[in-house]
Structure 1
């Protein structure tokens, strides 16, 4: 009984203490969890707290980052540079020369080829040039031809000469032709000339008063017989080819130039020609003609050189080595070893000082004699790594350093 009375009295005292101030019970904020305290602070009528009915403040804008990016670099210490063999070269304007090396073939000079034919029918009674490859001089006899038609023409010419000297007794016919005798004789003489009978042969016919049974064909040039189509006793027809002669005092060299090299080729460019069987000897020449067609199989164009051949050392169908040196003028250039070609872009490593190298994308142009033209990405005076740049690139790849994209 006493225990029950004690519990009732304790509860009564506790209730009195809690409601003595305000008649309400709120736990202190410190006794609440953070989320509950935040919710309680917003509740109206919270003792000791004022309710803020102002609108919430607008969020402050985040600071705008700069759009310009700093170029990434990879650091290679001077000791490490010396160990891997890094060398620098300055970007500068240099005179670039391009050397095109190709092969060529010695050919006949087509302007010095001669075909020997006749304008009349006949038979070869004597053959002076009786084998292919023989050298003949200008005016040297080649063959003797008998032609009944030509023999009759000579006879007519002799008869007109006799009539011109002695027209016979006076008659109306002779009187009518007296003023034309000279013209008639000259017409007969011209007919012999048109059949390629020389002036000396015509004078011989006039002087002897007899027709020549066989007429001799003479060589019009000094050269070699490269084809012989006749034999002694053979019948020939008008226009039929008897011999082909070639003057080898000058020859052509036909060179093959690839399609992508054609824009660099110009008429008059100086070339050097060498032959493997004449070591140490060099021939100078110039480009005389560029043929207008391209070989579909080899994708090459033909270029012609004209060369003197006084000693006859150059023979048709010989092979030659040809060098064509082309001056491309002054261009911004660096060694081609300084450029790393990834297949998608070309990268160089620019020395930024204190062992730092910047990977930079460049646009290149012409290549010539281990130099490459730089069209974009570098300026005159920049220093780039020309050796060991692949090792620098490996270090950059390991550190995740990549060049900025060029716009």
Structure 2
């Protein structure tokens, strides 16, 4: 055993007898070191002078964390705006901001001219029915007695049925507007006719732009109602961090408006589209609110900390116990502790993540309950300064060291471009309503997969109501005239031929119009069964369905319940991610060098460890006037196994030529110090030398070596930045 006293070490290592900045100086007596075995012996006085402290290694849950900005938003189905279905003047207001309301509760009442017109038409229909009924009662006996022709009876019957049909259509219209039919039969003084404005959701009135006497339009935003029992947390995650996020991770939320409070929840959904402006994607979480005093309110901003644990507890030590000489990581383990002195063993370790003041130990000859030096270690570590750069096996694992021989390789001539993931237009679409109306129901959630034709939302539309009423009126008229035609044919001898032909023409016209109206409703999204139900029950379908044009996932929605939307206004965005391609932005001067069929290497910012190949399949015909770039589309040879999103940033490399091979090394093997370049060469004894080299041509993977290296020499190709740090410490 090569034991030397500290007085000899002072001669070997200039720094050994002096304290590091902020640490105690080493004693000049009572210290023994065995460099070969890595063992240090301290006398009692030396141990006390350095003030050595130890702590036990223990198994702990390793936790990784990610911070991001967050915003509180209301769930899609818990925030609603209030609008009126008809124009009119507000005559009663039953709530004010801050009031709690229930779904369906009357918030205000409107005096609408349209309702008065409906009442007038209804009462006129009742009068017409009364009159036609009396006329028919007088005509029927006369027709039986033969004093009048059968044609007169048919005309009286037809007039009465037309009046009944008119009343039926008006009753259907009143039901669609939630107007009591009994009110229509009375006058204004006895029973005033008012349109009730009801709440779509239960919650609290947070805004009201309404006053008695104000005239309002159907498109006007009157009130906001929010149910604060549950809120969503919208977490914006940077693209380069997206690969670290997963559903189920713990979220600790702090908001600016509630200092000192921390809210804990979990990530429940992940966004499916990247914002091209902010380069963020969205992780969603949900939080309950207090029923009596909701603390979290939509619009609040804060910070979310996402955290996730290792699959099982790992061995960890206090972070100050981990020592380093640049690349080497080790701890000093207390092997013997007595009153007269102590012994400590240098143990190389592979370290992992740091969390809560502890460092994870991935590998090394360290066991649970081993006591490691947590104070005084920096002073003792100076004893192991060797003056050479040697990487132990455990340290090699820590830094991911890889050593391989320098060899000849093909260094391609390349073109490099920025790009973005692109979902083809036929697989990326929006869903919208074909008629203007009020959004009354949302049937899908964030990121939900939907089938083509599936109902996403429902729109209450007066135009839809009018089309159904027109179909119902036309259907009733068609039945009436078909019956009239049958009766005319039965008495054809006493009826002019022209009248029969005119009736036949009218029946055909009504049937054609009914068929057209049916097709129109089918095109708008109603099913054949729903249309038959309208004709059978004499009740209209309340809302128009908004259906998914394609199968895919809902990636975007930015509307509120109760909001009035225009026809063809985009409501939902749906992406089918089964076939994603890359769009490259080729600079104008390089466009002639890009050809269909070229192989491309593709790297994603969101998934830095992924490299995959693709083929150029199409090149755009024009150069952008502002960007001065030409689009080229690249298809993946093999779809990546990671989750992809539209607009994810991509780096593309195209090979334009493959010259003869030459001596080359991976790009990661080269370190730069100012304008000079170096590689780390491993010698026969396992130590490393930093050697200056002269570089030649480079592609996206390798760089040519012109001077300074010969084929077969062993060089470090990964873990090089850590070796450079160790080299600086040794030097």
Distance 1:125 1:401, change over 3 A: closer
Query: Per-residue CA shift, 1:326-355, capped at 9, x if unaligned?
Result: 33232543222222356x525113448573
Deviation at 1:310, TM superposition (A): 0.5
1:300-319 matched pairs, under 5 angstroms: 302-316=283-297, 317-318=299-300
**Residue 122 of structure 2 aligns with which residue?**
157
* Most deviating of 257-266 and 108-117: 257-266
Unaligned runs of 5+ in 1: 1-69
Distance 1:237 1:341, change over 3 A: farther
Aligned partners of 2:66, 2:332: CA distance in 1, in Å?
31
Contact 2:62–2:314 (8 Å) recurs in 1: no
Task: Note if 1:340 corresponds to 2:305.
Answer: no
Deviation at 1:297, TM superposition (A): 6.8
* TM-score, normalised with respect to structure 2: 0.37
For 2:356, which of 359, 369, 393 is the aligned residue?
369
**Residue 311 of structure 2 aligns with which residue?**
329
For 1:172, which of 140, 150, 154 is the aligned residue?
154
Aligned partners of 1:180, 1:287: CA distance in 2, in Å?
62
Query: What's the secondary structure of 2:183's corresponding residue?
Result: helix
**Residue 74 of structure 2 aligns with which residue?**
108
Aligned partners of 1:78, 1:241: CA distance in 2, in Å?
83
Deviation at 1:311, TM superposition (A): 0.8
1:4-403 matched pairs, under 5 angstroms: 73=38, 75-79=40-44, 80-88=46-54, 93-98=59-64, 105-120=71-86, 122-128=87-93, 132-161=97-126, 167-168=132-133, 169-170=135-136, 171-173=153-155, 175-176=157-158, 185-194=167-176, 197-198=177-178, 201-206=179-184, 208=186, 212-254=192-234, 265-269=245-249, 285-292=265-272, 293=274, 302-316=283-297, 317-318=299-300, 326-335=308-317, 336-340=319-323, 344-351=326-333, 353=335, 355=343, 357-358=345-346, 360=348, 362-378=349-365, 380=367, 384-397=372-385
Deviation at 1:285, TM superposition (A): 4.0
Distance 1:319 1:241, change over 3 A: closer
Aligned partners of 1:225, 1:85: CA distance in 2, in Å?
66
Which of structures 1 and 2 has the bigger CA Rg? 1
Query: Per-residue CA shift, 1:175-199, capped at 9, x if unaligned?
Result: 34777877654432332344xx32x
Aligned partners of 1:291, 1:159: CA distance in 2, in Å?
57
Query: What's the secondary structure of 2:310's corresponding residue?
Result: strand
Query: What's the secondary structure of 1:208's corresponding residue?
Result: coil
Aligned partners of 2:328, 2:275: CA distance in 1, in Å?
32
**Residue 60 of structure 1 aligns with which residue?**
none
Aligned partners of 1:208, 1:276: CA distance in 2, in Å?
58
Aligned partners of 1:341, 1:161: CA distance in 2, in Å?
98
Aligned partners of 1:357, 1:373: CA distance in 2, in Å?
19
Higher relative contact order (CA 8 A, sep 6+): 1
Contact 1:109–1:248 (8 Å) recurs in 2: no
Query: Per-residue CA shift, 1:279-313, capped at 9, x if unaligned?
Result: 99876644333445479779795543231330133
Contact 1:89–1:334 (8 Å) recurs in 2: no
Aligned partners of 1:84, 1:353: CA distance in 2, in Å?
18
Contact 1:251–1:308 (8 Å) recurs in 2: yes
* Most deviating of 364-373 and 279-288: 279-288
Aligned partners of 1:78, 1:374: CA distance in 2, in Å?
29
Deviation at 1:404, TM superposition (A): 4.2
Aligned partners of 1:297, 1:387: CA distance in 2, in Å?
45
Aligned partners of 1:384, 1:85: CA distance in 2, in Å?
14
Contact 2:65–2:305 (8 Å) recurs in 1: yes
Aligned partners of 2:388, 2:346: CA distance in 1, in Å?
9
Deviation at 1:267, TM superposition (A): 3.2
Query: What's the secondary structure of 2:222's corresponding residue?
Result: strand
Deviation at 1:217, TM superposition (A): 1.8
TM-align CA RMSD: 4.5
Contact 1:88–1:384 (8 Å) recurs in 2: yes
Distance 1:160 1:233, change over 3 A: same
Distance 1:401 1:151, change over 3 A: same
Unaligned runs of 5+ in 2: 1-34, 137-152, 337-342, 397-731
